[in-house]
Amino acid sequence: MAYTACIVAAGRGERAGGGAPKQFRQLAGHPMLGWSVKRFAADPACAQIIIAHAPGQADQVQACLDGVNAELVEGGDTRTGSVRNALALARASRVLIHDAARPMLSQAVIDRLIEALDTHHGAAPALPVTDALVRSDDSGVQAVSRDLLYRMQTPQAFRTQSLREAFTRAQSDYPDEVSLARAFGLDVALTQGEEANFKVTYPEDFKRAEQSLAQAAPGGAPSVSVTGSGYDVHRMTAGDGVHLCGVFIDCPYRLIGHSDADAGLHAVTDALLGAAGLGDIGDHFPPSDDQWKGADSAMFLAHAVKIAAQAGVRPVHVDVTLICERPKIGPHKAAMKARVAEIMGLDPKRVNIKATTTEKLGFTGRGEGLAAEAVVTGLAS
């Protein structure tokens, strides 16, 4: 049966660190919010995706969608307010409320929830508490029984009309939808949760999630490793500077080319297209087309990232070698690394920039031109 997915992404995410709301931070090559969006978009039973976001963050949410059709709504000051606003737009008879901070949702968790709604007004995934529990107060430490205790997860699933009626009656905020439903007498079943479906809350959780997601395609499907290589050459002449790996270097040379002649970004673009099986840069941006005259090569690489994602390939590592006698690359490596990472949505630690000479041999040794090689490693679903 069809359902609406409501993703709550209006929190500040301050405990996770990083200086930005955690739902927009990069996680294994994608914004964290994007993983949940892709999971629901991959399920044929998901008829509608609604995302509740904080005021002023609509553009950031749109950047996470990667072509997926979703409806955006401003959230409230609390979780209850955010879910209330999203629920008002739900069209399907069943609704799943999910936290953007749980990026590793599996189809199996969704399927168990939908099945449970055949016989219950609501359902939520949960895991039994396995650690020893204690209570500590002024009288000391006391053991607490783990029997009948569970760790709740999301999505929390409901028959839409039943949850709406509960919200209509609610006069205060609730920590989650199960609490709200139980307060107004709705029966809620617990379904089997998964350890992988943990909530990213603290800085160390990002590392754990990164390691898990790096081994899975969006939506949790198994991935295979793919590799592409790229090579580009441009002639060099007198000028006022060169563009390399997205960085302008002020020097008495320039590279000759139809676009901005950024050999580094051209090589990376070709490598990514190769990894995705999508031809080469000339197939997408032919030099015979005047609209690309003088174009910023960052646009070529950004396009390659987008169409590679549509083909089910996401880059996870880039290695670039610049081959030239001039200009000096060393002082600019850090800026190049940061720029390539920014364009490709990667952690800068996943980008490597190297430079070498040919010991005065060949056209690069004579200063007639510059060459660049690149290798892109990616994961394909």
Task: Tell me which H or E stretch contains 4.
Answer: strand 3-9
Which pLDDT score, from 0 to 100, does residue 215 have? 61
Q: Is the pLDDT of residue 38 over 60?
A: yes
Q: What is the mean pLDDT of residues 149-173?
A: 94
| Residue 284: pLDDT band with limits 50, 70, 90 | confident
Do the Cβ atoms of 11 and 87 come closer than 8 Å?
no
Task: Tell me which H or E stretch contains 151.
Answer: strand 150-152
Q: Is the pLDDT of residue 129 over 50?
A: yes
Q: Is the pLDDT of residue 342 over 80?
A: yes
Question: Would you identify the CATH topology of the domain 224-380?
Answer: 60s Ribosomal Protein L30; Chain: A; (3.30.1330)
Tokens representing 109? 């968790």
Which pLDDT score, from 0 to 100, does residue 12 have? 63
Q: How far apart are CA 190 and CA 199, in angstroms?
A: 18
Residue-range domain boundaries for the chain: 3-213, 224-380
Which pLDDT score, from 0 to 100, does residue 19 have? 55
Q: Is the pLDDT of residue 292 over 80?
A: no
Tokens representing 100? 């953007």
Which pLDDT score, from 0 to 100, does residue 79 have? 92
CA angle, 40 as apex, 39 and 42 as ends, to 5°? Answer: 70
| Residue 218: pLDDT band with limits 50, 70, 90 | very low
Which pLDDT score, from 0 to 100, does residue 46 have? 94
Task: Tell me which H or E stretch contains 369.
Answer: strand 369-380
3-class DSSP assignment, residue 286: coil
Q: What is the mean pLDDT of residues 81-105?
A: 96
Q: How far apart are CA 71 and CA 68, in angstroms?
A: 10
Q: What is the mean pLDDT of residues 273-296?
A: 85
Which pLDDT score, from 0 to 100, does residue 213 have? 76
Tally Cβ neighbours within 10 Å of residue 185: 10
Q: Are strands 188-192 and 122-128 parallel, antiparallel or unpaired?
A: parallel
Task: Tell me which H or E stretch contains 247.
Answer: strand 247-249
Q: Are strands 242-244 and 224-238 parallel, antiparallel or unpaired?
A: unpaired
Which pLDDT tens digit goes with each residue over 130-158? 888 888 888 888 888 888 899 999 999 99
Which pLDDT tens digit goes with each residue over 46-71? 999 999 999 999 999 999 998 889 99
3-213 CATH choice from 3.40.50.2000, 3.90.550.10, 3.30.499.10, 3.40.50.920: 3.90.550.10
Which pLDDT score, from 0 to 100, does residue 221 have? 47
